């Protein structure tokens, strides 16, 4: 098998690569697409054997420049906080729903401030335009008022990052909060107490939403991580506040997870891994509609192998999903999408970090052994395939990357995507364990986009519309 060897040249990629990739995000429209007819790579081989990915590497090398017609454009184009002018914001009370659900240790110290940092650009923009910011979030899963889930520990870090003293309210509605709002200066920030201290929040009770909304003049939703839930502070309030717009973070998630995925620079590859095919059916089916190449890894591959009559030893298999696996392969073939299944795997004699391991072809897993990672040949083949792409989305690890011995496949994908980011490929990390993997490898900063939402990003990738996004005002169409 001819394959491009992996080179660790990604190490020195400058952070500006993120900007480069982002800047080239929007243009692809029909008129930019090459006129070259689409080449259906998978028609050259049979999908009945997992070994077919051996045959694809050479074909992929000549794939550059091919494109499929755009099938659909992002349907969730929403008005953004950036669309509001200084006059729209000056002196206005803005209810900002952010996701400040950060982890706290036993001493109430923040152990990871990523979510706070992600909320800062929108808040800074509002402050700079003279708005009065009423900042709302949930933290944890409180049952009623629970002091350990107070947002108070967030005040010092928020104040430090914003460069102003943030005021904290002891409630999120009521007369005391109203007084604090009345005394808030232009450019000031009032942090409301955990909105989930009220059970009405998750029940999306209109009366509660109305009380929250009565504090403000307009609404900004920047809480992507909870946008798939119709709660009072994410959906209910929009019925009472106009305009209701997307914050910068939410906007970026939509730009990439909807915009770049629906209207990608091609070739477009999707990498899907993780433990079970059942939890990724929606994502695979939706991406099959859009991508040119689908690379599969993780525990789910053994269901595909078994469906093709291979022995998989004691690997993870979903017996009730064998037919589904076959139908997904058939669907891919019918759509002209190339599916790559790993050709070799790293097997273990038990599910443990210190298990004995060896590399075997995917068709030769002995009884009593289980596949816990993709093998080196597969890494090479995947890298060759990825080398041809202009857009890549990744969701789910290639193996049990929590165990060092079985982390190589997942880490190789992270490194390859970092390398491609440096070459202007749009690289999107679609939430969950893939985010943990790129962070572990230390390449998170170079990716075009790292999604901040687990459940929300999965739902977007499945093609679902999120209630917290649907409720926002439509973007005003720009004539082209
Ligand atoms: P998911 O939440 O579906 O994306 O799955 C992530 C989990 O899949 C991680 O905890 C991995 O350890 C697990 N995983 C990946 N590959 C395998 C495998 N070959 N066998 C069992 N579990 C796996």
Question: Which of 104 and 61 is assigned the larger pLDDT?
Answer: 104
Q: Which domains does the chain have, with CATH numbers?
A: 9-73+259-461 (3.40.50.1260), 81-246 (3.40.50.1260)
Question: Which of 33 and 188 is assigned the larger pLDDT?
Answer: 188
Beta bridge partners of 391: 268, 426
Nearest partner of 151 among 98, 187, 72, 204, judged by Cα: 98
Atom of ligand 1 nearest to the CA of 373: 19
Residue range 256-275: mean pLDDT, rounded: 95
Mutational test site, ligand 1, from 298, 315, 317, max ligand atoms within 8 Å of CB? 298
Residue range 131-152: mean pLDDT, rounded: 97
Q: CA–CA distance from 272 to each of 42, 43, 62, 186, 282 (Å)?
A: 18, 21, 24, 47, 11
- In this predicted structure, the answer to whether residue 466 has a pLDDT above a threshold of 90 is yes
Q: How far apart are CA 298 and CA 47, in angstroms?
A: 19
Q: By alpha-carbon position, which residue is closest to atom 6 of ligand 1?
A: 274
Q: How far apart are CA 250 and CA 227, in angstroms?
A: 9
Atom of ligand 1 nearest to the CA of 273: 4
**Contact partners, residue 15, CB within 8 Å, separation at least 6:** 445, 446
Question: Which of 18 and 465 is assigned the larger pLDDT?
Answer: 465
Q: By alpha-carbon position, which residue is closest to atom 20 of ligand 1?
A: 299
Helices (H) and strands (E) in the chain, counts: 18, 15
Residue range 104-123: mean pLDDT, rounded: 95
Q: How far is the CA of 400 from the centre of ligand 1 (A)?
A: 5
CA–centroid distance for 191 within its chain? 27
Question: Which of 3 and 378 is assigned the larger pLDDT?
Answer: 378
Q: How far apart are CA 255 and CA 121, in angstroms?
A: 16
| Residues within a 6 A CB radius of ligand 1 | 274-276, 279, 298-299, 316, 371-372, 396-397, 399-400, 402, 432-433
- In this predicted structure, the answer to whether residue 405 has a pLDDT above a threshold of 90 is yes
Residues 45-61: b if buried by 16+ CB within 10 A, e if exposed: bebebbbbbbbbbebbe
Q: By alpha-carbon position, which residue is closest to atom 10 of ligand 1?
A: 400
The per-residue pLDDT for range 16-48, each reduced to its tens digit, is 222 222 222 222 222 222 222 222 222 222 333
Q: How confident is the model at residue 76 (pLDDT cuts 50, 70, 90)?
A: low
- In this predicted structure, the answer to whether residue 74 has a pLDDT above a threshold of 50 is no
Mean pLDDT score of the chain, rounded to an integer? 85
Mutational test site, ligand 1, from 303, 397, 411, max ligand atoms within 8 Å of CB? 397
Q: What angle do CA 204, 205, 206 make, to 5 degrees?
A: 110
Q: How far is the CA of 412 from the centre of ligand 1 (A)?
A: 16
CA–centroid distance for 290 within its chain? 16
Mutational test site, ligand 1, from 270, 272, 273, 274, max ligand atoms within 8 Å of CB? 274
**Cβ(267)–Cβ(282) under 8 Å?**
no
Residue range 77-84: mean pLDDT, rounded: 94
Q: How far is the CA of 334 from the centre of ligand 1 (A)?
A: 28
- In this predicted structure, the answer to whether residue 331 has a pLDDT above a threshold of 60 is yes
| pLDDT for the residue numbered 385 | 98
- In this predicted structure, the answer to whether residue 3 has a pLDDT above a threshold of 80 is no
Q: How far is the CA of 190 from the centre of ligand 1 (A)?
A: 41
Q: How far apart are CA 240 and CA 219, in angstroms?
A: 9
Q: By alpha-carbon position, which residue is closest to atom 18 of ligand 1?
A: 299
Q: By alpha-carbon position, which residue is closest to atom 11 of ligand 1?
A: 400
| pLDDT for the residue numbered 478 | 63
Q: How far is the CA of 422 from the centre of ligand 1 (A)?
A: 28
| pLDDT for the residue numbered 17 | 27
**pTM recorded for the entire structure:** 0.81
**Contact partners, residue 332, CB within 8 Å, separation at least 6:** 42, 47, 288, 294, 338, 339
Whether the ω angle into residue 141 lies within 30 degrees of 0, i.e. cis, is no
Q: By alpha-carbon position, which residue is closest to atom 2 of ligand 1?
A: 274
**Tokens representing residue 285 in the block:** 């089916």
Atom of ligand 1 nearest to the CA of 276: 3
Q: How far is the CA of 397 from the centre of ligand 1 (A)?
A: 6
- In this predicted structure, the answer to whether residue 61 has a pLDDT above a threshold of 80 is no
Atom of ligand 1 nearest to the CA of 399: 16
Q: How confident is the model at residue 476 (pLDDT cuts 50, 70, 90)?
A: confident
Q: How many residues does the chain have?
A: 480
Residue range 455-473: mean pLDDT, rounded: 93
| pLDDT for the residue numbered 54 | 26
Q: How confident is the model at residue 392 (pLDDT cuts 50, 70, 90)?
A: very high
Q: What angle do CA 247, 396, 307 make, to 5 degrees?
A: 140
Cite the annotated binding site for ATP by residue number.
Answer: 280, 371, 402, 431-434
Q: Name the strands in the sheet holding 218-221, side by side, starting at the edge strand that comes first in the sequence.
A: 167-168, 189-191, 132-136, 93-97, 218-221, 244-246
Which residues are known catalytic residues? 115, 276, 432, 455
The per-residue pLDDT for range 336-371, each reduced to its tens digit, is 999 999 999 999 999 999 999 999 999 999 999 999
Q: How far is the CA of 172 from the centre of ligand 1 (A)?
A: 39
**Contact partners, residue 297, CB within 8 Å, separation at least 6:** 271, 272, 273, 342, 374, 378, 382, 396, 397, 398, 399, 409, 410, 413
Atom of ligand 1 nearest to the CA of 371: 19
Phi and psi at 110, nearest 5°, equal -75, 125
Cite the annotated binding site for (2R)-3-phosphoglycerate by residue number.
Answer: 115, 196, 229
- In this predicted structure, the answer to whether residue 96 has a pLDDT above a threshold of 60 is yes
Cite the annotated binding site by residue number.
Answer: 99-101, 115, 138-141, 196, 229, 280, 371, 402, 431-434
């Amino acid at each position: 098998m001819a394959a491009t060897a992996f080179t660790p040249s990604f190490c020195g990629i400058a952070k500006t690569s993120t900007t480069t990739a982002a800047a080239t995000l929007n243009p692809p429209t029909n008129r930019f697409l090459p006129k070259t007819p689409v080449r259906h790579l998978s028609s050259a081989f049979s999908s009945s054997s997992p070994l077919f990915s051996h045959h694809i590497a050479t074909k992929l090398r000549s794939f550059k420049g091919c494109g499929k017609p755009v099938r659909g454009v992002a349907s969730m184009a929403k008005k953004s906080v950036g669309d509001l002018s200084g006059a729209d914001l000056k002196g206005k009370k803005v209810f900002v729903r952010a996701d400040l659900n950060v982890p706290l240790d036993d001493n109430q110290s923040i152990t990871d401030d990523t979510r706070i940092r992600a909320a800062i650009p929108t808040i800074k923009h509002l402050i700079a335009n003279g708005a009065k910011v009423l900042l709302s979030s949930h933290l944890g899963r409180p049952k009623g008022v629970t002091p350990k889930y107070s947002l108070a520990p967030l005040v010092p870090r928020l104040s430090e990052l914003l460069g102003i003293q943030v005021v904290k309210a002891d409630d999120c509605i009521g007369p005391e909060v109203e007084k604090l709002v009345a005394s808030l200066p232009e450019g000031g920030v009032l942090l409301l107490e955990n909105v989930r201290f009220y059970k009405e929040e998750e029940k999306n009770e209109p009366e509660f939403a109305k009380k929250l909304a009565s504090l403000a003049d307009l609404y900004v939703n920047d809480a992507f991580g909870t946008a798939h839930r119709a709660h009072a502070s994410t959906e209910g309030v929009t019925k009472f506040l106009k305009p209701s717009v997307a914050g910068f973070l939410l906007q970026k998630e939509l730009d990439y997870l909807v915009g770049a995925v629906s209207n990608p620079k091609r070739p477009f590859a999707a990498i899907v891994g993780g433990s079970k095919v059942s939890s990724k059916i929606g994502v695979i089916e939706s991406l099959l509609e859009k991508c040119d190449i689908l690379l599969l890894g993780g525990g789910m591959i053994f269901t595909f192998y078994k469906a093709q009559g291979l022995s998989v030893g004691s690997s993870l298999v979903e017996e009730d999903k064998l037919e589904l696996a076959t139908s997904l392969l058939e669907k891919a073939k019918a759509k002209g999408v190339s599916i790559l299944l790993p050709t070799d795997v790293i097997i273990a004699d038990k599910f443990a970090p210190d298990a004995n391991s060896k590399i075997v072809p995917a068709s030769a897993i002995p009884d009593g052994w289980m596949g816990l990672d993709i093998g080196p040949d597969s890494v090479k083949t995947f890298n060759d395939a990825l080398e041809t792409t202009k857009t890549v989305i990744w969701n789910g690890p290639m193996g049990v990357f929590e165990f060092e011995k079985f982390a190589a496949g997942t880490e190789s994908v992270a490194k390859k995507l970092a390398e491609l980011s440096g070459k202007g490929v749009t690289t999107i990390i679609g939430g969950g364990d893939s985010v943990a993997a790129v962070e572990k490898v230390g390449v998170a900063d170079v990716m075009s986009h790292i999604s901040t939402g687990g459940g929300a990003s999965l739902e977007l990738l499945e093609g679902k519309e999120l209630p917290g996004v649907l409720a926002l005002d439509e973007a005003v169409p720009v004539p082209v």
